[in-house]
Chains A and B, each alone.
Chain A
Amino acid sequence: MTAQPITSPRPAADGAGEALLSVRDLTVTFGRGRKAFRAVDGVDFDVYPGQTVGLVGESGCGKSVTSLAIMGLLPGRGNTVGGRVTFAGEDLLSMPADQLRDRRGRDVAMIFQDPLSSLNPVVPLGVQVAEVIERHKGRNRSDAQQEAAAMLKKVGIPDPDRRLKEYPHQLSGGMRQRALIAMALACEPRLLIADEPTTALDVTIQAQILALLKELVSESGTALIMITHDLGVVAGLCDEVNVLYAGRIVERAQRHDLFATPRHPYTGGLLASIPRLHEERGRRLTPVPGSVSDNIPWEQGCAFAPRCANAVDVCRQQTPTLVPDRDAVGDDRLLRCHNPLTANPVDDTPTVEEDAR
């Protein structure tokens, strides 16, 4: 396969400006001593203003823990966080709690996976949206309620004045997620972290919510970290994609490059498991074989080796490092693999992106 130069669309600020969020060597360990377990293991990435960065990997690879560590929302007890998280030049991990509270909800906001359990069941929706406006914009209750209504309208909730008085259980799943988006964007944050915002919703609603997020984020210039286990979600949304496996980044590339030439066998597996519209009937999706429980520790080699069709002897003997990958299409690619893919396992790449849109 001859590498044809693809000019990947990079966000305007990238390269020129400074990173809005910069995560360096982020490590989260649960427990101590012999039982210690590293859920996130030396993760590095940057997010530039207005950029959308994907964090992709299957269940348990440390996506949520990464985002909670950035927000300072881990339970606090029973875990240790190492590394540096710099937001607009300030280190979030060492920041005093009250200063961090001033940032959360105003500069960095987050939306979560399960919209029902993420909303307080006994507080009217209006109060839940307005409280973040009151807190960070210093509005009084009634002004905040008005802004809340405007915000609900903006995220596509009809009849917002009535909805403000309602409780979460009176809304549909899609409405609830819209309400959470309204809360998160109410103070025009510079960074939004979306942790699997569509996983709990059915397929048609998923597409609507993704479209809404995309529209709001590009309109306001908010940077977005999109966390998902579904590369299909990434396809329509992200500029840059980080693939996470067992707490470490195994591949990073611009979205086009990643879809055109996945290099890590795990990325290849994820790509092959995206459902496609033009699929012949009866062909089953090919999920990545095996499960996380087959992993070997990173210290002994590549954690993915036991599940990897490309695995060779060295994969079980030597820990691969994340290094620039110059053999593939695209710039600035990073790869952690001894024996990468050379051909795309999926041949209908372009339709993947179209379907997801």
Chain B
Amino acid sequence: MLRFIVRRSLQALLALFVLSVLLFAWLRSLPGGVVSALLGERGTPENAAALRSALGLDDPLYVQYWRFLQRALRGDFGVSNGVFRGEPALDVFFQRLPATVELSIFAMILALTLAIPLGYVAARRRGGPLDTGSVVFSLVGVAVPVFFLAYVLKYVFAVQLGWLPPSGRQTVGINATHITNMYVLDGILTREWDAAWDAFKHLLLPALALASIPFAIIFRITRAAVIDVMEEDYVRTARAKGLTPRVIRVRHIMRNALIPVVTVVGLQIGALLAGAVLTEKVFAFQGIGQALAIGFERRDYPVLQVLIMMAALIYILVNLLVDIAYAVIDPRVRTK
């Protein structure tokens, strides 16, 4: 098990390195570039050239990369030159991380708690109205673009009905203590129930929009896995032993059916990060996704660089955790 973790971590490091090279080259090949972004309207060829050499942009790309890498290893990713002007890029990431983590975890919990039971029930009543209905519903779930769904939810529940706030993470001016900067969790920890409820209402719509794709995919995988597992010989053996339906469901069907689900959940983390960019933008939810969108508009390379690298790191770490979880549920992986 330990060797497995070490090997996977080394693979992860290598992947991060390759990604950083590609990212570095790609960002610097974008049209416009940092100089025109910094100078804006005032740019003359002369001060552009001066700025280029001051920033070291005339050096060959590998020299620039080497410089970047040396600083990055010391935790210095440069300073934002966009809306967060003057702030270290890494700080932008850490300030915004809790919001996105809270949003993603909540969206994933929503997706899992709805999709797994529904997938099981649909599989047991295969071909029935509930099954057909939820299959169609899940097809719609994957087909509708996340940002479109986000707009629709916002329009219906925030703008038209006014049930939920249309944007932000917390009502401006509310009195709330922050510990983790995950506002719902903070509200619960400090027993400021009003603040927690307020943050929860802000979280609900973006989380629903973000949960749509993982929900649809997890539902379909669960349903397919349960249908497969129910026909397995070992389920027949369990029934032949006269076990209660609960034991058969939990120990013999779900334990096996969840193996593909775990893999898919891992893969969905990437989709969740991508979806967070769009959802956070629509709901002006101040997380990493929103910062990434702003960074792009402003060509804020230091911020973009750090956000993308860290997103990749999170993605890789989560996948490592998923692999470990996989080994825990499936002894055939563990004892190989």
- Chain A interface residues (CB < 8 Å from chain B): 71, 73, 100-106, 109-110, 112, 114, 117-124, 127, 131-132, 135-136, 167, 169-170, 180, 183
A-B contact pairs, 8 of them (CB 8 A): A105-B242, A120-B234, A121-B256, A121-B330, A135-B242, A167-B335, A169-B332, A183-B241
Q: Which residue of B lies closest to A180 (CB)?
A: B237
Residues of A within 8 A of B232 (CB): 117
Asked if B331 and A167 make an inter-chain contact with CB atoms under 8 angstroms apart, the answer reads yes
Number of interface residues of B (CB under 8 A): 23
Closest beta carbon of chain A to B237's beta carbon, Å? 5
Looking at B243, B247, B256, which has the most chain A CB atoms within 10 Å of its CB?
B243
Asked if B255 contacts A106 (CB within 8 A), the reply is no
By beta carbon, the residue of chain B nearest A67 is: B240
CB distance from A30 to the nearest CB of B (A): 15
* A117-B233 in contact given A105-B241, A123-B251 (Cβ < 8 Å): yes
Asked if B240 and A109 make an inter-chain contact with CB atoms under 8 angstroms apart, the answer reads yes
Chain A nearest CB from B256 CB (Å) reads 6
B52 beta carbon closer than 8 Å to chain A: no
Least CB distance, B21 to chain A, in whole angstroms: 40
- CB of B329 within 8 Å of the partner chain: yes
Known: A121-B256, A122-B256, A122-B259. A132 touches B239 (CB 8 A): no
Name the A residues within 8 Å of B247 (CB-CB).
131, 135
Asked if A119 and B237 sit within 8 Å, CB to CB, the answer is yes
Known: A120-B251, A122-B259, A167-B331. A131 touches B243 (CB 8 A): yes
Q: A114-B233, A167-B331, A169-B332 are in contact. Are A120 and B240 (CB under 8 A)?
A: no
A-B contacts, CB under 8 A, total: 83
Q: Is the CB of A104 within 8 A of B256?
A: no
Is A118 a contact of B332 with CB atoms below 8 Å? no
B335 touches A121 (CB 8 A): no
User: Is B239 a contact partner of A104 (Cβ separation < 8 A)?
Assistant: yes
Rounded to whole angstroms, the CA-CA distance of A123 and B330 in the bound complex is 9
Q: Are B240 and A73 in contact (CB under 8 A)?
A: yes
Report the minimal beta-carbon distance from A93 to chain B, rounded to whole angstroms: 16
Contact in complex: B331, A101 (CB < 8 Å) = no
CB distance from B122 to the nearest CB of A (A): 15
Which of A103, A127, A169, A170 has a CB less than 8 Å from the CB of B242?
A103
B28 at the interface (CB under 8 A from A): no
Residues of B near A127 (CB, < 8 A) are 251
**Is there an interface contact between A123 and B332, defined as CB atoms closer than 8 Å?**
no
Residues of A within 8 A of B259 (CB): 122
- Does the CB pair B329–A118 fall under 8 Å? no
Of all chain B residues, which has the CB nearest A193? B240
Q: Could you say which of B236, B240, B332, B335 contacts A105, with CB atoms under 8 Å apart?
A: B240
Given contacts A123-B255, A169-B331, is CB(A117)–CB(B234) below 8 Å?
yes
Q: How far is the CB of B240 from chain A (nearest CB, A)?
A: 5
Tell me whether A104 and B331 are in contact (CB under 8 A).
Answer: no
State whether the Cβ of B281 lies closer than 8 Å to any Cβ in chain A. no
CB nearest to B259 among chain A residues: A122
Residues in B neighbouring A104, C-beta threshold 8 A = 239-242
